[in-house]
Structure 1
Amino acid sequence: MGGFDEYYEKAFVIEVKDSLYYKGLCYSKGIGVERDIQEAKKCYLDGINKKISKCYYGIGIIYLKEEKYDESFKYFGEAFSDIYIEAENGDAVSQKMISCYFLFGDRGVGKDIKKAKKWLILSAANGDLESQLILADSYKYGKIFEKDIDKSIYWFEKATKQGYSEAEV
Structure 2
Amino acid sequence: MSNKQNLKNINTYNLLYEFSHNYDKINIKEIEPIINDYIFEKDLSILIDRLVDIIFKELNEGNDAIVIKQHVLEYTNNRNITLQEIYNYLLNNQCKSNSIYLLGYFNYYGIGANSNKKMAIELYQNAAKLENKAAELSLINEYLYGKIVNKNYTTTFELSKNLAKEGYACALNNLGYCYENGYGTDINEEKAFELYQKAADLGNSGGMTNLGWCYYEGIGTDINYQKVCELFQKAADLGNSNGIFSLGYCYKEGIGTNVNEQKAFELYQKAVDLENLTAIYNLIWCYEGVGTDINKQKVFELSQKAANLGSSTAQYNIAYMYDIGIDVKKDTKQAIYWYKKSAEQGHQDAKKKLNELLKN
Query: TM (normalized to structure 2)?
Result: 0.36
Change (3 A) 1:85 1:49: closer
Deviations 1:60-97 (A, max 9, x none): 23318x9x8xx211xx4345445424323432111112
Task: Name 2:162's counterpart in structure 1.
Answer: 49
Task: Name 2:264's counterpart in structure 1.
Answer: 152
* Alignment check: 8 A CA contact 1:4 1:129 kept: no
Task: Name 1:125's counterpart in structure 2.
Answer: 237
Give the one of 23, 36, 43 matched to 2:139. Answer: 23
Tell me how large the CA RMSD over aligned residues is: 3.8
Unaligned runs of 5+ in 1: none
* Alignment check: 8 A CA contact 2:173 2:199 kept: no
Change (3 A) 1:106 1:152: same
Task: Name 2:300's counterpart in structure 1.
Answer: none
* Alignment check: 8 A CA contact 1:45 1:59 kept: no
The percent identity for this pair of structures is: 13
* Alignment check: 8 A CA contact 1:21 1:55 kept: no
* Alignment check: 8 A CA contact 1:24 1:41 kept: no
* 2:281 paired with 1:162: no
* Alignment check: 8 A CA contact 1:7 1:26 kept: no
Change (3 A) 1:7 1:78: farther
* Alignment check: 8 A CA contact 1:137 1:152 kept: yes
Number of aligned positions between the proteins: 157
The structure with the largest alpha-carbon Rg is 2
Q: Secondary structure at the match of 1:90?
A: coil
Change (3 A) 1:22 1:97: farther
Query: TM (normalized to structure 1)?
Result: 0.68
CA distance in 2, matches of 1:134, 1:97: 10
Aligned ranges 1:65-104 → 2 under 5 Å: 71-73=186-188, 76-104=189-217
CA distance in 2, matches of 1:118, 1:105: 16
CA distance in 2, matches of 1:101, 1:139: 18
Amino acid at match of 1:58: Y
